[in-house]
Amino acid sequence: MKMMLSVVLVAVAALVAVAGYAMFKPPAQATAPIEAAPVAQAPAGSASTAAVFEIDPNASSARFVIDEILRGSPYTVVGTTNHVAGQIAADLDDLDTARVGEIRINARALTTDADGRNRMLKNQILLTDQHEYITFTPKQMVGLPDQVTVGQSFTFQMVGDLAIRGTTREATFDVAVTPTAENRLEGTATSTIRYADWGVTIPQVPSVAGVADQVALHLDFVAIDS
């Protein structure tokens, strides 16, 4: 009996050590500056004269927003990064031909307002040592106007495949864009998802009584045709 108890205690101690290491180990770092995947070429025979706008990470950011109960009080957690990349092919006179390439976010670069939360986010929630990038690959744009002029804002929905820590599911983003110059687009894209649908779980910690089951995703972007 004593031997069995000793074995159990050793096993428990090992599990605690592994869990502690997973929580407190330094998170993996970004492997390289983020780069955009090239947007798909226009269909053969197309007369499109679309310009290619590239998201400028120095003027753009991606963030998530989620509510929790922290030490008995409501609290909103925000994680953000400017490690964002993507390309948009668009002709303002013929938006029917617009194409959006893969939007890529480096999850290893996400930061919140607390170092401990950052380690848990990267090591245990998003598993960023194995899944460096969160990606969104657009498949359909709904509600685009036929054409716009510089200074004229427009809205539409973008449907595509959202990949988070190895799981890909369809998601829809509400998008607002303003061409502020012939070579510059400014906009936002937002969506709210149930993170459990992507296999994401949030570990329980004593100071947090509960976490919302939905998370809001935001992208604020500036894209430039250089």
pLDDT at 140: 97
pLDDT at 16: 36
> What pTM was computed for the model?
0.87
Encoding tokens for residue 27?
């998170």
* Sign of the CA dihedral with 100 first, then 216, 125, and 60 last: positive
216 vs 224: CA distance, rounded Å: 26
CATH class of 2-224: mainly beta
Query: Judging by DSSP bridges, how do beta strands 87-90 and 73-81 pair with one another?
Result: unpaired
List % helix, strand, coil for the chain (3-state, nearest 5). Answer: 20, 45, 35
pLDDT at 34: 94
86 vs 184: CA distance, rounded Å: 14
pLDDT at 45: 61
Q: How confident is the model at residue 119 (pLDDT cuts 50, 70, 90)?
A: very high
Backbone angles phi, psi at 115, to 5 degrees: -60, -40
Q: How confident is the model at residue 109 (pLDDT cuts 50, 70, 90)?
A: very high
